[in-house]
């Protein structure tokens, strides 16, 4: 067993290349140049096991297909010369031979002049016959004869031996992907096994002290390891055979031992986490001791994905993906999948692209090519691409997005209204049946559940009440959930409607101050007194809501222009506010009663707000909109909302 070098080994010093940021194109070119060309190992597989694999070599047909001349129709095997003069006016009489030729039965009698032999579709053509007449083109003439009123040409309704596949011809070329059609061709030639490119064995390792495997108890400040599961699945989806080694803590000796073992057993090693320059990120330092040439690129001008590390150790690729799930998956699909598919003998992925308009300005960072996940919806004049806006740590960004758009490294933004090219994650656009854009509420899932169960696709994009109204005015959604209070009329929502929009009552929900139970600064106080107490204590930290949210408008009214500590912490959901308070990152905030109670927090009611829907009138009769309105009014949805702590309107 090889001795593992100590962490202070000098070879690791030369691998500190994080400051040499490469472009995406240069990093990928260097990685592929260090790996290819290379021989692709093959293995024999049965046809069923070969599905989806690439052939390792050309396959020549060992037999003719069909292996004999056969009939294409039910009818009679004849000599075409006997029927040269046949017509409606002058039918030709043929005597029937005694045998009947069925599929799988070799003929034994010759077809002589003036005779015919009954034959089934697929039956072998008998000696003496050179054509087949369809049974529909004949008439019985007694018990042992037929009359034919049409002439027959040589080869009529006959497939000759080798007419489909000729013995010795190239049946399939190497690198052909084996699908059901290819399996059919191979089976027709009697081939039971083929040599295919062996799937690359890829070891997957997650790194980090904070990781807990799904199913285990989640400790404070710990997170579940999502990258291990999602990277393993993505490898299998793209031609590899992945196995998950496990999650290894940030212990350099233990991690190096695991990496050496995995690299000895596998064709490729993929890690996630440990690519940045933090004290706990040690993976990239180990690579320099695992083989030559070592790190090819550490730091790529990508967003998300800058910390990506690409290496080759004695001919085997080693990849360290960023730890954040969206960064990890995007860089995997963009940078690693091309190499993995090439190692598996598979062709490059053919990504479909569509054009879509971006409705909002997207800020970007100069010097880094940025890829932005987007969700597609139908607009008045074509597709609309909404950026996900959840960040590289969001699990759902990649899963819920339809594709991504690219912002060039020389641009600091993509202006609103830009017509952009969107690369799809799937072969076709998946435009949802119902689009809801606006304020977030947990009650929305209760109402849309029946639609999903009925097979309708629903997309909900949380941009706040004002953002939802803007989307509705532009015709980019069917409904915009809103909860906006108008000071002049002292009413909710109706004053904010524009032409072409109508209000659909939703439900009432109690907004209030959320705090940790037992905090004397808030216990037994009214909402206004609680806010006054918080403002009087410089150590009391709040958590706000995002601009455009109805809750934010309510908070600003309470604060009256004051900007206390924590004001600029602006999460986009009620759940995030409750989590900040529960985890002691903030002392108070504003959320709705169901979320506060679910989080085990104290709650001071402030006002019952109206959570309603601005409906685009022109879309009112769409089937999915009608289904939503029916669900909203149903007894089942109203009861579900009431159980969750809401009051149906």
Residues 171-186 have pLDDT tens digits of 999 999 999 999 999 9
What string of H, E and C letters represents the secondary structure of 202-268? EEEEEECCCEECCCCCCCCCCEECHHHHHHHHHHHHCCCEEEEEEEECCCHHHHHHHHHHHHHHCCE
Q: Is pLDDT above 70 for 326?
A: yes
pLDDT of residue 456: 93
The mean-pLDDT minimum among 134-138, 325-329, 355-359, 577-581 falls in 325-329
Q: Summarize the confidence of residues 304-316 as an average pLDDT.
A: 90
Q: Summarize the confidence of residues 621-648 as an average pLDDT.
A: 95
Phi, psi of 543 (to 5 degrees): -130, 130
> What is the spatial distance between Cα 572 and Cα 390, in angstroms, rounded to a whole number?
9
Q: Is pLDDT above 50 for 10?
A: no
503-535 pLDDT per residue, tens: 999 999 999 999 999 999 999 999 999 999 999
pLDDT of residue 274: 60
32-42 pLDDT per residue, tens: 999 999 999 99
Tell me the two tokens of residue 257.
């031992």
Contact 71, 117 (CB under 8 A): no
pTM: 0.74
Burial class (CB in 10 A: 0-12, 13-18, 19+), 134: middle
DSSP helix/strand/coil, 631: helix
Contacts with 109 (C-beta within 8 Å, 6 or more apart), sequence order: 97, 98, 99, 117, 126
Q: What is the dihedral of CA 44, 48, 52, 53, to 10 degrees?
A: 0
Predicted confidence band of residue 381 (pLDDT cuts 50, 70, 90): confident
Mean pLDDT computed over every residue of the chain: 90
Predicted confidence band of residue 251 (pLDDT cuts 50, 70, 90): confident
Residue for token pair 């009697």: 190
Predicted confidence band of residue 344 (pLDDT cuts 50, 70, 90): very high
Percent of the chain with pLDDT over 90: 70
615 closest CA partner among 509, 482, 535, 501: 501
pLDDT of residue 389: 61
Degrees, nearest 5: CA angle 359-382-549:
30
Predicted confidence band of residue 431 (pLDDT cuts 50, 70, 90): confident
Predicted confidence band of residue 398 (pLDDT cuts 50, 70, 90): low
231-242 pLDDT per residue, tens: 999 999 999 999
pLDDT of residue 464: 86
> What is the spatial distance between Cα 117 and Cα 100, in angstroms, rounded to a whole number?
6
> What is the spatial distance between Cα 66 and Cα 440, in angstroms, rounded to a whole number?
64
Q: Is pLDDT above 60 for 393?
A: no
pLDDT of residue 176: 94
The runs of H, that is alpha helices, within 282-363 are 283-287, 325-331, 337-343
Q: Is pLDDT above 90 for 137?
A: yes
Q: Is pLDDT above 90 for 355?
A: yes
Percent of the chain with pLDDT over 70: 94
Q: Summarize the confidence of residues 4-31 as an average pLDDT.
A: 63
Q: Is pLDDT above 80 for 5?
A: no
**Whether the bond into 518 is cis, omega within 30 of 0:** no
Predicted confidence band of residue 249 (pLDDT cuts 50, 70, 90): confident
466-477 pLDDT per residue, tens: 999 999 999 899
Contacts with 453 (C-beta within 8 Å, 6 or more apart), sequence order: none
What string of H, E and C letters represents the secondary structure of 92-149? EEEEECCCCECCCCCCCCCCCCCEEEEECCCCECCCCCCEEEEHHHEEECCCCEEEEC
Q: Is pLDDT above 90 for 17?
A: no
303 closest CA partner among 406, 420, 394, 228: 406
* 647 vs 464, higher pLDDT: 647
């Amino acid at each position: 067993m090889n001795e593992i070098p100590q962490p202070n080994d000098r070879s690791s010093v030369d691998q500190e290349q994080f400051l040499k940021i490469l472009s995406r194109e240069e990093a990928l070119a260097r990685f592929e140049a260090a790996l290819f060309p290379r021989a692709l190992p093959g293995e024999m597989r049965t046809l069923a096991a070969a599905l989806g694999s690439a052939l390792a070599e050309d396959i020549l047909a060992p037999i003719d297909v069909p292996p004999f001349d056969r009939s294409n129709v039910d009818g009679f095997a004849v000599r075409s010369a006997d029927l040269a003069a046949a017509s409606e006016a002058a039918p030709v009489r043929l005597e029937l031979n005694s045998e009947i030729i069925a599929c799988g039965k070799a003929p034994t009698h010759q077809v002589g002049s003036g005779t015919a032999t009954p034959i089934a579709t697929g039956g072998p053509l008998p000696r003496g016959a050179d054509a087949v007449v369809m049974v529909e083109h004949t008439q019985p003439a007694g018990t042992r004869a037929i009359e034919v009123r049409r002439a027959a040409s040589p080869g009529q309704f006959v497939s000759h031996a080798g007419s489909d596949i000729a013995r010795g011809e190239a049946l399939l070329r190497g690198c052909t992907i084996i699908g059901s059609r290819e399996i059919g061709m191979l089976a027709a030639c009697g081939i039971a096994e083929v040599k295919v490119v062996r799937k690359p064995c890829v070891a997957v390792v997650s790194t980090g002290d904070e990781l807990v495997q799904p199913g285990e108890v989640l400790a404070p400040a710990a997170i579940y390891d999502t990258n291990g599961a999602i990277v393993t699945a993505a490898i299998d989806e793209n031609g590899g055979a992945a196995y998950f080694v496990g999650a290894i803590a940030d212990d350099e000796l233990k991690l190096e031992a695991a990496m050496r073992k995995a690299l000895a057993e596998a064709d490729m090693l993929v890690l996630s986490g440990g690519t940045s320059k933090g004290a706990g990120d040690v993976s990239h330092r180990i690579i320099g001791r695992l083989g030559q040439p070592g790190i090819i690129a550490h730091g790529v001008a990508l967003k998300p994905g800058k910390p990506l590390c690409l290496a080759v150790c004695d001919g085997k690729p080693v990849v360290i993906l960023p730890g954040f799930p969206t960064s990890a998956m995007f860089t995997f699909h963009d940078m690693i999948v091309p190499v993995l598919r090439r190692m598996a003998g598979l062709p490059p992925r053919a990504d479909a692209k569509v054009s879509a308009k971006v409705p909002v300005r997207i800020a970007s960072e100069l010097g880094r090519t940025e890829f932005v996940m987007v969700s597609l919806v139908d607009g008045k004049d074509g597709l609309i691409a909404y950026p996900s806006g959840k960040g590289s740590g969001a699990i759902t960004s990649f899963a819920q997005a339809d594709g991504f758009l690219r912002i060039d490294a020389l641009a600091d933004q993509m202006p609103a209204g830009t017509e952009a090219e969107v690369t799809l994650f799937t072969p076709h656009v998946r435009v949802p049946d119902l689009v809801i854009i606006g304020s977030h509420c947990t009650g929305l899932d209760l109402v849309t559940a029946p639609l999903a169960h009925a097979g309708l696709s629903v997309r909900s994009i949380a941009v706040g009440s004002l953002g939802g109204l803007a989307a509705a005015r532009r015709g980019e959604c069917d409904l915009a959930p809103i909860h906006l209070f108008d000071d002049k009329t002292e009413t909710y929502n109706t004053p904010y409607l524009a032409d072409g929009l109508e209000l659909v009552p939703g439900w009432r929900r109690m907004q209030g101050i959320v705090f940790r139970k037992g905090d004397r600064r808030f216990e037994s106080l009214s909402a206004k007194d609680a806010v006054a107490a918080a403002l009087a204590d410089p150590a009391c930290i709040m958590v706000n809501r995002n601009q455009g949210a109805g809750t934010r408008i309510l908070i600003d009214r309470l604060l009256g222009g004051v900007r206390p500590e924590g004001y600029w912490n602006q999460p986009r959901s009620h759940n995030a506010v409750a989590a900040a308070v529960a985890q002691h990152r903030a002392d108070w905030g504003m959320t709705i009663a169901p979320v506060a109670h679910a989080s085990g927090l104290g709650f001071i009611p402030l006002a019952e707000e109206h959570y309603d829907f601005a409906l685009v009138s022109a879309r009112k009769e769409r089937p999915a909109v009608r289904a939503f309105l029916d669900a909203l009014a149903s007894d089942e949805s109203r009861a579900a909302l009431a159980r969750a702590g809401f009051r149906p309107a």
